[in-house]
Structure 1
Amino acid sequence: MTDPQIERKLIEIMRVISESDKPIGARNIADELQNRGYNLGERAVRYHLRILDERGFTEKHGYNGRTITTSGRKELDDALIGDRLDFVITRIEELIYKTDYDPFSKKGNVIVNLSTVDKDDFDNAIDVMKYASSGDISISPNIKIFEEDSDPRVYVPPGCVNIATVCSITFDGLLLKSGIPIKPAYGGIIEMEHNDPVQFLDMISYSGTSIDPVKIFMMRHETSVLDVLDTGNGRILANMRNIPSSAIDKTKEVLKYLEDSGIGGVLSIGDSSDAMVGAPVEEGMAGILVAVGVNLVAAVEEAGIPVATSPVSMVLDYSEMSKL
């Protein structure tokens, strides 16, 4: 019997192929899998495609790529989405483990999001991100630019540029390294009034989704980050994590060190078991509400500039990043 991990990857590859209106190749499949949280390279995709071909679920069309067969579509219809429910949180936990940023030296790994924009839109996108970084709606004003073939760690589509922004899950890794048990809880849309968080308008649990919650809400285009920057009122992306209530004082100390080093974005810290801006907090736990790093990119989308974003993409040494 095939390993369950392989089976889940095979199902996701079939999903990608089925959603394409023409034959799709291994490289494009690998790119889309990365967007969905699957760290699978082109070579690994080719291996899995051979398995699908042998099972009769996909059909190869020369160099043009693959399409899904009738048998493959039936297999896909029978597959349970539950197979991927734990994948997102597992991927996050892996990156949390690799986070080792030191706020005093300003060096070490932080978790980053990767956003792709067309080269022709790059200058305008950076201008919007500079403006957005002037508000308290993101983690850090520091970014890293990846151009085509400039770095073997990152694939950049032809004619495009990738922009790395600091991901809020970095907080989880750094608090964990400080001995504070922490667990990502929810991601969603927060209503802001006078620059203060008021209420989660919609949220998704990290432990109960097959796609990163922040990516889902970015795809819905429901933010109004530019309005928040202009008036203090609007909607931004945020997520919440839980810590033991007994760790609040130590948590605030760690967060202060991070803020002094240029990594901020904490909107509020709850100190009771009451619901926090509409998000439930377990008894004996406290919630930490953080504005996510891709709010900078959401502002770019609101300005009418097309951009594709993969939240929680990889770790990157913060010293490689530069201020907008």
Structure 2
Amino acid sequence: MTDALIERKLIEIMRIISESDKPVGARSIADELNNRGYGIGERAVRYHLRILDERGFTKKEGYSGRVITELGEKELRDALIGDRLSFVSTRIEELMYRMNFDPETEEGNVIVNISLVDNNDLEDALEIIKIVTANGITISPRIQIFDENSDSKIDVPEGKTAIATVCSITIDGILLNQGVPVEPAYGGTLNIKNNEPVNFQDLISYSGTSIDPIKIFMSRKTTSVLDVLDTGTGKILANMRTIPASASEKALDVINRINASEIGGVIRTGESGEYVFGAPVDFGMSGVPVYVGTNVICAVEEAGIDVATYPVSTVLEYSNMSKL
């Protein structure tokens, strides 16, 4: 296992199989991996399972799925693999490195979230997304749609449609590429009153979890985006990054320039060491809270439509994305 990222995934797959009292199939493994913060589809899981089978760590039990072998249990106990606590941050850093969006040309890769919805629910879901993006509590009104027959790197199961929304970590990548040091700090639920942000109700640090904080809050169904649209009061999702206070002026210039590219969502920029909506910030640093791209998907779920969402999923060419 020479590649550290592949090694992490192989060990995690073995953990999932080991924790089950019956054989586990590739689809179940893929779902659980995504719950644990590993963005990987069913096809990729099958590839990793073949590696594990070849090494003698897992074996097939008919058509039921895989079980872990005695050799696999030993490998799992002895594997010199660090805990997953840093995996989310590592994933974010990887995607920030891969994105190359240019605010001047409005071209290049941006980081996206991928949400899967049943084909029968697609029309209703898109109508809700259109309404929410018009309200401005997301990163960008642009999305991209992939069906199960799309020739793309997005793995779309049969009967589903994938909806790509711009991820708020795109802001971090743009700032970094423009020479502004930035670090994702927190994800959380933000209270809105009279259409104005008031305070973070709950926060989870990106450095202290093995699962993306936004995914955690989505799974808990903590938002009331539709209430915000109807009454101006409710809860939405936002995250915060920190930048050196000395770089605030440059950051504001970059943010103003990318607004012309329909990339926004920045709520404000705090002063040095200032708590922003109740979120702590170290002295010498400024907090920059941003609405997250998955607020549109939260609204879809609040309307009773089942959606599986994978935040900070991959990168896509921004110029291929469009408004509804």
Using structure 2 for the length normalisation, give the TM-score.
Answer: 0.90
| CA–CA separation in structure 2 for the residues paired with 1:221 and 1:19 | 26
The offset of 1:271, in angstroms, is 1.1
Within 5 Å, give how 1:225-244 maps onto structure 2: 225-244=225-244
What is the aligned-residue RMSD (CA, Å)?
2.7
Tell me the amino acid that sits aligned with residue 268 of structure 2: S
Helix, strand or coil for the counterpart of 2:165? strand
| CA–CA separation in structure 2 for the residues paired with 1:22 and 1:153 | 31
The offset of 1:322, in angstroms, is 1.1
* 1:61 equivalent in alignment to 2:61: yes
Unpaired runs of 5+ residues, structure 1, are none
Aligned residues: 321
Q: Which residue of 2 aligns with 1:95?
A: 95
Q: Which residue of 2 aligns with 1:260?
A: 260
The offset of 1:62, in angstroms, is 2.0
1:42–1:70 Cα change, 3 Å: closer
1:21–1:196 Cα change, 3 Å: farther
Do the aligned residues in 1 keep the contact of 2:274 with 2:287 (CA within 8 Å)? no
Q: Which residue of 1 aligns with 2:52?
A: 49
Structure 1, residues 142-165: CA drift from partner, whole Å, max 9, x if none?
Answer: 100010031230110110000000
The offset of 1:82, in angstroms, is 6.2
Structure 1, residues 77-127: CA drift from partner, whole Å, max 9, x if none?
Answer: 999996101111011001101121122322111000000000000001011
Structure 1, residues 259-288: CA drift from partner, whole Å, max 9, x if none?
Answer: 121111111211131221111101100000
Do the aligned residues in 1 keep the contact of 2:113 with 2:164 (CA within 8 Å)? yes
| CA–CA separation in structure 1 for the residues paired with 2:21 and 2:306 | 21
1:123–1:264 Cα change, 3 Å: same
Q: Which residue of 1 aligns with 2:106?
A: 106
Helix, strand or coil for the counterpart of 2:114? strand
Structure 1, residues 29-64: CA drift from partner, whole Å, max 9, x if none?
Answer: 345435522447245412443267x34xx5521233
Q: Which residue of 2 aligns with 1:182?
A: 182
* 1:306 equivalent in alignment to 2:306: yes
Q: Which residue of 1 aligns with 2:270?
A: 270
| CA–CA separation in structure 1 for the residues paired with 2:233 and 2:15 | 39
Using structure 1 for the length normalisation, give the TM-score.
Answer: 0.90
Tell me the amino acid that sits aligned with residue 180 of structure 1: V
Do the aligned residues in 1 keep the contact of 2:198 with 2:277 (CA within 8 Å)? yes
| CA–CA separation in structure 2 for the residues paired with 1:196 and 1:94 | 33
Unpaired runs of 5+ residues, structure 2, are none
| CA–CA separation in structure 1 for the residues paired with 2:19 and 2:123 | 32
| CA–CA separation in structure 1 for the residues paired with 2:204 and 2:80 | 19
The offset of 1:170, in angstroms, is 0.3
Helix, strand or coil for the counterpart of 1:134? helix
